[in-house]
Structure 1
């Protein structure tokens, strides 16, 4: 009958399934299945102080080792002479006006990985090949990228791509500022220095590369900076790599060089580029300027980062951080800050501004600072003095287990 709900006979009513359902798991119950084996935590050969089973580290899901994963699908292609490379990923990029950008790709050709650098080099077609010449001269130096190939990019057959082609009018102010488009192929793939896994990886190798370049090859790098200091991983472990030899020069009599390539401002020596002669376009540049740049890179990492694997610190702009003082707009202002930094003792700044993770490196920073300060401009610090200092302190550092290694 409409509007009337008939009762369901007891034989057709839903059975009480509460008795047939398995009991719900209670908080704290252990899973019945055997937990996955952690290759790091269950390896008795690793000297790692891991707490008992209640520690959260034992409850982490360990992802697949990225080295064993298949290569990603190409995201594009890039031409270098007659060879086409599949682009796997963009490693780094910097933007700017026409003729100032740089992109580094991880690329693949055949069955090997390469680094392809698509960039604009200061100067003419001849100047653009200086980096190639330097890499070829340094080909047997451990820690210098291996040169594979290069191409002066052509917009049509026989016409090299240069910044001047995009200028409405070539003014006198643009003299010496024209750049040439270059594709450069290198090996191997590296990670930035600030992606270090242990403190022992930080600086020693970069100085050894500089020392070999100067003393055995007669070459000055002239642009040691945070972004040019790298780490390579190979079958023998990890070691430092110094890249970007675009402004490198053979050491000249009288130490006189073209103005281009005096360094990246926050990491330049506080000694201003001195003209070789009044009105000259040549400047004086000594090896110790490059050596001091490594010191600034070291201080920058200890203040600007708070641990391994590129974890940056958040620095309050209201405080007078050293790294902010070295990042001024003009060269003169930066030079004045660094001159004051060494003229008046600033060793207390290391204890105040180093992140707690780097506190055990404060004694090294103080000794390195005093070595530079006490030598003075007329008595240069040598490579071996700095290497001896680094070796003394780095030998005392524990080989911390990298957080990255816990997931590989």
Structure 2
């Protein structure tokens, strides 16, 4: 069994009443007052037992089957001391999308807020005046407890940059005040925790999905650890770090950040994050001079066909901006709009031929023409509108 213990006696009324939250700590992780109810529902639904000691008062939870409008529900019941168990206004449908680890996280967070501890116990604990104890029995919950470091940070960070802590281990999760609140689609080289104020939803996940990556990028821009920065700035584009956008946040980069990017640029930008390069270029006012190549006859023909095609569908790229084909723009980067010039990596010709070349030219042309960033709503809307317009021309009449 797992026992959560903290000083103070929980008000039994708060367990069964929504909208009641009174935390003792100055910076509580949770603040909604509903988390314990969600956890109780999840635990009972998954076959676990849960008991709460409020001082010397024993509170037992169970289930009663009831039918509402022809549908059967398991209502959560609560028995205080020797009183008969009574339904307390919610069912095991509460937190229906929650996983078991979320129930653990919730109880552990409440315990942490109250300066408490959690431990595995063999013998049944005894109620004590002045203390709250939450006892959970069940093998699956014990397994979650054994892997608690995936949900609540317990070790010291490798580095701290402002309010953001960096731990040198890979992971998909982002933590807030030591608690997992977000999962990235890409795995990160490192694990990040932010101690600054962050708005959460009622189930302790990040409300604004852009915030984790945004906060990490801003912190790394100001980092001074060149070894750490080199790993981040040369990370594969399939990783979290390799996909970070460092440009346009209004944060002055550190000298270390600029030195690392500058070293990569001098090495023809091998693997450097393209947005980090933009930051470096603007901060140092140095021209972008990747090594140009001389096109082969086949490559020249492919370029002409791509430009002709772009013109026929409404993108007059030929003559609008200089186009330079270069050896490399870094790993994963096929094109770059910089210094009023379209740069194309030679790799484009090997990947998809003229079709890939045309799409890369259009993308970089739009960056220069309209100033739109990658993955922005403006760029997305324009491309969809253009697609419909081209369809109209193919059909031969307007929609």
TM-score by length of 2: 0.25
TM-score by length of 1: 0.25
Q: More relative contact order in 1 or in 2 (CA 8 Å, sep 6+)?
A: 1
